[in-house]
Amino acid sequence: MNALATNARRWPKWTLFAALILTVPVPYFMVVVGGIVPTFYIIYLAVHGLIVALPKFTAEGFWMLGILWAHVVILAGLLYVAAAGITWLLFRFLPHRHALVIVFGVILALFTASTFEIYRVPGHNSAPPANILRIYKGFFT
């Protein structure tokens, strides 16, 4: 296998990985709050928590950050393995053009499915279902 063939498979893998991070609903468990959100939401909470917790330096804050970062590492790792496996199988058994079409079809299906209310925003008691637009709108407001 030459370097050109490896590079031709690399960007679809990373594009699919980014789409999986942005759209796939994953369980989010904390002590009191929970939900089913995309991994990007958990990454946002972990980075935001790190910025807030570093100046205060409390044990409870870093315990919760450890749980958040464990979510990030495990869930993002699983999504990377899924993206790498999907692209490896597609590019191994199909012609390059057909594999690209299928990868873009999977990405389109992910973003289309995420417009339905398949997520649960973290919150006390029962949080209402949400779609991807409501979740990302919360970042900007």
- Segments forming the whole domain that contains residue 116: 10-24+36-140
Residue 50 lies in a domain: yes
In this prediction, residue 13 carries a pLDDT of 92
Say how far apart CA 110 and CA 22 lie, in whole Å.
Answer: 9
Is residue 89 situated within a structural domain?
yes
- Relative to beta strand 25-29, strand 119-123 is unpaired
Q: Name residue 130's beta-bridge partners.
A: 119
- Say if CB 139 and CB 46 are below 8 A apart: no
Quick check: is 135 in a domain? yes
Let me know if residue 74 belongs to a domain. yes
> How many domains is the chain built from?
1
- Token duo for residue 118: 């398949």
* Interaxial angle between packed helices 39-56 and 59-93, expressed in degrees from 0 to 180 and rounded to the nearest 10: 150
- Residue-by-residue pLDDT tens, the chain, 141 positions: 555 555 666 889 999 999 999 998 887 766 556 677 888 888 888 888 777 776 776 777 777 788 888 888 999 999 999 999 999 999 999 998 999 999 999 999 999 999 988 887 776 666 678 888 888 887 777
Instruction: Give domain status of residue 57, yes or no.
Output: yes
